[in-house]
A and B are shown apart, each in its own frame.
Chain A
């Protein structure tokens, strides 16, 4: 909200922007509540889709088009399909109810409140950057993707390569876990 208070930036969404912001925020918050309160895992997945899509909408509003696209493809697309497939392949009954004990809810609410309080404290006590710098609009535009690509293959080459190796290792680990186990000793 603090970001939006500043109107010096030329806004492509114009006067609709605050309205859009509150609409997206409502979608995100309500569907997040839906994830927590629902007991059906497939419904949770659908609520999660709404939350993630809403966050992608924020990224669009902040001119982070690449990030928004990645968010939609990887999270809203990939991860959710994984969840649904996971449920389909592992659960005998896809409409299984997830029950939580009372103390678990209590601990969960407590932890949530602590984190909420911490972040609220931080938000209140921090002067957030405003203006053009806040949205990173110093000549990004449609060259954004090119800049990210260049950064990944120059400054961030090492993490990029390590991530590739990591994916290889993860694949081997997953293949090992999923494989029908060979004859083992007493282990």
Chain B
């Protein structure tokens, strides 16, 4: 359980200032140590287990959840490294423990999100991912945009949580259980047991599900609920933006996958409700990708540009998630989950790289405006070249990881019949659209002369090392994609909910415990 290490790390980080008040090294070291232990614990279970276990009926530990946790924890380590290398000078020494503690708390919530298989657990996990993020988003207290972004985040986030918990109450009221797999089989109408609600038409339950998906859509910054994303990303310091752009969305994608997978495992093939959910998610993804790309076209702030880019990438992943519901068989669903995991890994390195270059430039030139990048190819050729690599990978240049990520997404879509081809068309059009704004920073760096004698930027050796590692990871995933993809494929295995039925928790209000026979969808 890597979560235990994260909690211990949080305790260590907040207790360390009692030893030495203004130390930066001590809390940072403690946080990193805890994260490495958590990483080791995750890797250990990653290798050891392939089936999956339910912990007290509220958490599910399976290869999928461990893989997502690996991404989240590894990314937390990388973000702390990025913070040390580029923007630590802007954080007061006294604020360091708070920053690290909030970061660890958010990582804890996100890793729990990837395993949560119970409505109560999902809610608690999402809240513990959200609240630290709200505080982190406003970490620069004197920064007007940061404070505004943080406030917007809190208000939108609370409203989204309220909507989601209301949906959960409807689902609980209609099914009488909080356990995801029991809910799934009840909604699918497969079980007519001694439950209180036999033979009901699930209209209210469907509305409840819709509201739950709306809550997840907020975390994913999917389109009708994306307004917070650019403001928060612009206002937050670079390291927080980087962390939120990957870890928060990755955890939300994982939750979406688990929701769809569990619903699907109990549904008969071609069930109306489930197909409806799939179509809804596909439309959500297509709208998110398209809208994110369209608005990104006229952004000039690097953080806002990457924020809209992250919205559109979330859209691509949502589109792939919809295949779990639309796919004709479990093999296609597995391909889709594999593609999403692979995409998540590649996306992590692309975003980390692009934001780190942005942070390195901001640290020395004090600008986030891409028009200020003019003449960067002369002022700092290495940074300019690396930034171009990351942007081209985000676009999907062949030879880089981003391209293979999209190829695998399309491969999964092509297995899903006519609906899949519509999704492929949407993905291709969006990729072309995105080129228009990904080349913008590169254009300013290479083809605009620096007329105002802007400073030459010397990135630190550590920053260069980190950027080279990111770039190498992109080339590796781009050129030797099959190896990475089979690794992701081995972990795209979610626990079949049949195991979870045994651990169905007893109900609070004295309703009989629902023992549900679960029919797996093995085709």
Contact = CB atoms under 8 A, between A and B. Distances in A.
Given A151-B505, A166-B124, A181-B141, 6 more contacts: A126-B201, A126-B204, A158-B121, A166-B127, A176-B135, A177-B138
B89 interface: yes
A165 B511 contact: no
Interface of B: 7, 10, 14, 55-59, 89-95, 98, 101-102, 105, 108-109, 112, 118, 120-121, 124-125, 127-128, 131-132, 134-135, 138, 140-143, 170, 174, 196-197, 199-207, 237, 366, 505-506, 508-512
A158 B56 contact: yes
Contact of B512 (A138, A168, A175): A138
A158 B92 CA distance: 35
Contacts of B135: 172-174, 176-177
B506 A151 contact: yes
Contacts of A169: 10, 101-102, 105, 128, 131-132
Nearest to B206: A122
Contact of A182 (B94, B204, B366): B94
A156 B57 CA distance: 8
Contact of A166 (B93, B95, B128, B201): B128
B200 A127 contact: yes
Contacts of B101: 169, 172
Nearest first, the 10 closest Cβ-Cβ pairs linking A and B are A173-B135, A155-B505, A169-B105, A133-B196, A182-B92, A125-B203, A136-B509, A185-B90, A187-B90, A140-B510
A93 B196 CA distance: 52
A51 B508 CA distance: 25
B509 A159 contact: no
B224 to A, nearest CB: 11
A162 B102 CA distance: 14
B506 A165 contact: no
A122 B142 contact: no
A124 B204 CA distance: 9
Contacts of A181: 92, 95, 141-142
A38 interface: no
A144 interface: yes
A113 interface: no
Interface of A: 64, 118-119, 121-129, 133-134, 136-140, 144, 147-148, 151, 154-159, 162-163, 165-166, 168-170, 172-177, 181-187
Contacts of B140: 184, 187
Nearest to A185: B90
A187 B237 contact: yes
Contacts of A118: 207
Nearest to A135: B509
A169 B130 CA distance: 11
Contact of A136 (B95, B174, B202, B510): B510
A147 B508 contact: yes
